């Protein structure tokens, strides 16, 4: 892993990244639902989407925590969810 950045993202950069991540997360959840409904929940592709959705959810939590560390005192709640 890379050492922590000495130049964290700005408030606006976190806002923009958050919008992109939220949109991507919504789309991945939608696609996971489509694949599961077409092939069934026990299908390998559906399982892959389930894993992807879990990773994206974890990424959102990690980025939200990072925004809180990068911008102490700023209202950053909801940037990534």
What does the domain layout of the chain look like in residue ranges? 11-70
What pLDDT score was predicted for residue 6? 78
State yes or no: pLDDT of 2 exceeds 70.
Answer: no
Instruction: Please report where in the chains the tokens 């299908």 appear, as a residue.
Output: 43
pTM to 2 decimals? Answer: 0.85
- Residue-wise pLDDT for 14-71, tens only, equals 999 999 999 999 999 999 999 999 999 999 999 999 999 999 999 999 999 999 999 9
Other CB atoms within 10 Å distance of the CB of residue 1 = 3
State yes or no: pLDDT of 5 exceeds 60.
Answer: no
Residue 5 is classified by DSSP as: P
Q: How far is it, in rounded angstroms, from Cα 47 to Cα 12?
A: 35
Reduced to 3 states (helix: H, G, I; strand: E, B; else coil), residue 10 is coil
């Amino acid at each position: 892993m890379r050492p922590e950045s000495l130049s964290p993202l700005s408030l606006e950069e976190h806002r923009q990244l958050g919008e992109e991540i939220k949109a991507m997360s919504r789309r991945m959840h939608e696609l996971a639902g489509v694949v599961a409904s077409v092939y069934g929940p026990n299908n390998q592709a559906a399982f892959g989407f389930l894993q992807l959705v879990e990773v994206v959810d974890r990424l959102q939590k990690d980025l939200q925590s990072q925004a809180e560390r990068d911008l102490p005192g700023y209202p950053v709640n909801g940037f990534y969810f």
